[in-house]
Amino acid sequence: MGDWPEAVLFDFDGVIVNSEPVHLRAFQHAARALGIELSDEEYYRELIGFDDAGAWRRLFALHGRPLDEQALARVMRTKFDAMRELLETRQVPALPGVREFVEALAAHGKVMAVCSGAVRGEIEPMLRGVRLAQHFPVITAAEDVAVGKPDPGGYLLTVRRVSEMIGRALRPQDCLVVEDAPLVVRSVRGVGFRALGVATSCPASALDGADWVVRSLRREELTAAAPELGYLFDRTTEDE
């Protein structure tokens, strides 16, 4: 098991950082400008797991509102601007256990990448802010795919990009996907990935499609739930 996984592909929001509350406020701001009241409960029930474009399409459909491509571009820009303003005034820390897990993977020479439904302009500043950007040479963002999450295409593209970077072809089964969205967990497992579900945005029971489920990426939780990955921590120390 020491050779697996060859690469670890992380979702971003709800896995590396807890920026979902910031996304929520930005979505609510943009929706309110169009006369749509988006509650916290509706956001977490209906929109988690979609990329921004998919989330807006779903929200407008739920509220019986038409949405053409020009209107979609405008509302996405409004949300992005609100998100940027919020990020400039709030600190978005890494989630518990993330730094230790990432450093453990790095110590074993594992390749890491991000595959997110967020846009690159949101991902990169937050990765720099939590001082983990150097560990993620490959980032697949919302603008890189024609069909967003929960479709597995973004993760398949990420595998191809990682393969090109390391000069060796990887298959989905060579990689571990770390996700917090049940729909995405099911879709990536359907194309051959193994999945570690992190119950930050939903109950652990909702992630029953994953190979392993944890409430955080803390060492003790991860090694208890997935002992196959315990070897990764043999060169690192506990989080302070």
Quote the pLDDT of residue 237: 45
The class of domain 7-18+92-235 in CATH terms is alpha beta
End-to-end, the C-alpha distance of the chain in Å comes to 28
pLDDT single digits (tens) 127-142: 988 899 999 999 999 9
The domains of the chain are located at: 7-18+92-235, 20-89
Would you state the pLDDT for residue 238? 44
CA separation for the pair 25, 99 (Å, rounded): 26
**How many whole angstroms separate alpha carbon 41 and alpha carbon 33?**
19
Class of domain 20-89: mainly alpha
Contact 57, 46 (CB under 8 A): no
How confident is the model at residue 187, as a pLDDT? 97
d(CA 125, CA 102): 18
Q: Give the dihedral of Cα atoms 39, 45, 48, 53; nearest 10 deg.
A: -60
- Please state whether beta strands 212-214 and 138-140 pair in parallel, antiparallel, or not at all (unpaired): unpaired
Residue 60 CA: distances (Å) to CA of 43, 56, 66, 75, 146: 12, 6, 7, 11, 20
pTM: 0.79
Amino acid (one-letter) located at 97: G
Ranges of the chain whose pLDDT falls below 70:
1-2, 88-91, 235-240
In sequence order, what DSSP letters do the residues of 169-208 get, joined into one string? ---GGGEEEEES-HHHHHHHHTTT-EEEEETTSS-GGGGT
Domains 7-18+92-235 and 20-89 share a fold: no
| pLDDT number for residue 122 | 83
pLDDT reported for residue 61: 96
Tokens for 134? 């150097």
Dist. CA 16–CA 96, nearest whole Å: 9
Residues forming a β-bridge with 138: 113
**What are 182-203's pLDDT values in tens digits?**
999 999 999 999 999 999 888 9
Q: Are 67 and 54 in contact (CB under 8 A)?
A: no
Return the residue matching tokens 């820390």.
Answer: 93
Contact 85, 6 (CB under 8 A): no
